[in-house]
Structure 1
């Protein structure tokens, strides 16, 4: 399994790159995980967006899904698409309200909203409690502690397990998803403080505790807000988790296997 960081800025795009977005690949299959502000541009550095095999959304806040509408433009109006998009609708695994929310975000008028629901180029599947097979991946989704219908994921192949927190405060669901994972890709939006609001985000301390409690092989920190010092977040996580831990970088490529992650490259902060 290969993980590419398309964007990792928390809550909004930062001065160095896009908001949340990741590319997960195995056996020639390409799964995009979230598609926040600026992620479609970053994706095109690594692959043709028409080569995606599926999309997976943790939730529908703009910093995780805003570029879906621009992908809709590409799939509908590209003058020379590599294949007939109407014959191969792109599977979209997302919260239950995704078809309506995405159509409303895309439509320029009430009339268009009534007549165009994006199902001409997308095939929507609502996330649920049962594991789903998507190409070579077995994906387990669980509701996490964040406003709205929000999910964390356990993405497994025959040889690797990647756990992704999505956006969440500490909760039991994350512990279950991350249990024994080779890699935990965890949000760490802010530094630790007792007065942080519950049920929104995690700190480096929270992410480190989760990694230690779940017995993961490696911790990758992401979704750090532009106003948060990543060095402080990293130090917090290392205090709680004695295994390998690092802050991801936009463009970084990580081979996910047992028992290590090999960093292939990357740039930015």
Structure 2
């Protein structure tokens, strides 16, 4: 079974009934989490027992992408059988940020940390993480395995490396924080919907999944605008959405 389950879709903070950034990627029995922002953990637990996770990847230290790593650490730390440490691939600052919420439990007892940006083998995946511009150190992700290439921009702005990240991807998960009539961010810290779509076209991606919506965003308009710049399938991420891969 190869599928992506959307755990959360909001940037900054979650709207009522929604969660911040998070995804569960399943590939032939291997379970990988991409980001765990506010309120994503209950949705993760509904789809996968926490002791069945194989790895976690966090793009950066902003809490709308990593806050529920604290919840996952508690669920594993206080489990009747803790089991081996869970591989965690993350940028500098993530462990420090989350550890600040856990003053008595050492995260290193739960997680085996590996640095990003870097290249790693993660189960069946070749993980290539490239630095992308944002307010804090940020890694864009490219995951390849036999028959599948998935790219994830996280919360970063436009950069020359982005088309490389999404080149020929079967699915490109792209932040769509800024919407028309708002102009693109001149500081290149955030991605505009049209920039995400244009990047997907240049990269030759097959499908585009828009996510990281600012609370209150008109998601239908976001997909409509993206379709004018990308000829492939465009989807707006929704909590609980399951995409076969």
TM bracket (short chain) = over 0.9
Pairs within 5 Å for 1:1-269:
1-78=2-79, 80=80, 84-85=81-82, 87-107=83-103, 112=104, 116-129=105-118, 131-192=119-180, 193-194=182-183, 196-256=185-245
Q: Which has the larger radius of gyration?
A: 1
Q: Distance in 1 between matches of 2:213 and 2:200?
A: 17
Gaps of 5+ in 1: 257-269
Residues 143, 149 of structure 1: 8 Å contact kept: yes
Alpha-carbon distance in structure 1 between the residues aligned to 2:205 and 2:77: 41
> In the TM superposition, what is the alpha-carbon distance from 1:99 to its structure 2 partner?
3.0
Q: Which runs of 5+ in 2 are unaligned?
A: none
RMSD of aligned alpha carbons = 1.5
Give the TM-score, by structure 1 length. Answer: 0.86
Instruction: For residue 77 of structure 1, report the CA deviation from its aligned partner.
Output: 1.6
8 Å CA contact 1:57–1:93 kept in 2: the answer is yes
From the superposition, tell whether residues 191 and 126 of structure 1 become closer, same or farther in structure 2 (CA, over 3 Å). Answer: same
1:96 offset after TM fit, Å? 2.6
TM-score (ref. length: structure 2): 0.94
Is 2:184–2:192's contact at 8 Å kept on the other side of the alignment?
no
How far apart are the structure 2 equivalents of 1:179 and 1:189?
22
Aligned residues between the structures = 243
Moved over 6 A (4+): none
